[in-house]
Amino acid sequence: MLFHDFLTNEQNVLSKGSHYFPIYEKHLKKIVNSSVNFWEIGVHRGGSLQMWKRYLGPFAKIIGIDISRHCKLYEENQINICIGDQTDTAFLQSIIDKYGPPDVVLDDGSHVMKHVCATFDFLYDKVTKNGVYMVEDLCCAYWDELGG
């Protein structure tokens, strides 16, 4: 269902490996149509946030986090964009202060290993009970240029 949505997307561009979709559905189907606080680190062209909005339904609060200022363009109803560095813990705390702790974190940001770890070290404990923390593209953990 989510994969079909991805394949037929006519809104903003998004980038996801096809093998992620069964994993997303396995861990996220329990929160469909709930008032979930869903964070995605890495907005790029905004299509992923729109996909989560379609999938999670009208009660979801979607927070997109990105270092690039242009991503603010992708803000819309139910989707808030926060501009800053995923390793900046004061910035991450300010998002919690404004929107509440995340129920789901999906890290699809820089993929630099020390960034992934710094974000995880700060945010993992902040995720609500029974929440989900996911990191995409962990193949990068084997790439020298990203500190793998």
Ligand X SMILES: C[S@@+](CC[C@H](N)C(=O)[O-])C[C@H]1O[C@@H](n2cnc3c(N)ncnc32)[C@H](O)[C@@H]1O
By beta-carbon proximity to ligand X, the closer residue of 47 and 131 is 47
Least distance CB 18 / ligand X (angstroms): 13
Q: 61 near 104, Cβ under 8 Å? A: no
Active site residue 19: no
Asked if residues 75 and 87 have their Cβ atoms less than 8 Å apart, the reply is no
From 24, 36, 42, 74, residue interacting with ligand X (rule: CB under 6 A):
42
What residue has token string 């869903």? 38
> Applying CB under 6 A, which part among 23-31, 92-100, 104-112, 124-132 lies near ligand X?
104-112
Binding test (CB under 6 A) with ligand X, winner from 6, 108, 132, 135? 108
Amino acid in the structure at residue 49? L
Neighbouring residues of 148: CB distance < 8 A, sequence distance ≥ 6: 113, 140, 141, 142
**Contacting residues toward ligand X, per CB under 6 A:** 14-16, 40-44, 47-48, 65-68, 85-87, 108-110, 115
